[in-house]
């Protein structure tokens, strides 16, 4: 028969694994969302729908800032997918 300490330990491991999976899944969704927003922003800016200089900051042009959003989304997605594949499965 399992002791109460063992049951508590196993419960914490299961909860931690489920929580980790939820956080990583959220990271993947956030990364995909940022990638889509960044790519749509670049597309609309190139088509002339809005002025990309609205997003300029300091010496960085607007297209660099919008591109940075898309790149950070790609990185978040890659980290999330890799972590899910490596740790969970």
SS3 readout for the chain: CCCHHHHHHHHHHHHHHHHHHHHHHHHHHHHHHHHHHHHHHHHHHHHCCCCHHHHCECCECHHHHHHHHHHHHHHHHHHHHHHHHHHHC
| Token duo for residue 18 | 């489920």
Residue 4 has pLDDT above 80, yes or no: no
13 pLDDT band, cuts 50/70/90, is confident
| Domain-wise residue ranges, the chain | 19-88
Tens digits of residue pLDDT in 46-78: 999 988 888 888 878 888 999 999 999 999 999
End-to-end CA distance of the chain: 29
């Amino acid at each position: 028969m399992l002791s109460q300490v063992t049951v508590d330990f196993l419960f914490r491991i299961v909860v931690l694994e489920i929580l980790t999976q939820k956080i990583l899944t959220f990271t993947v969704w956030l990364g995909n969302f940022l990638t889509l927003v960044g790519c749509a922003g670049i597309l609309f800016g190139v088509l002339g729908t809005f002025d990309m200089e609205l997003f300029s900051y300091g010496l960085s042009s607007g297209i660099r800032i919008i591109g940075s959003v898309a790149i950070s989304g790609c990185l978040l997605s890659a980290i999330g997918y890799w972590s899910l594949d490596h740790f969970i499965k």
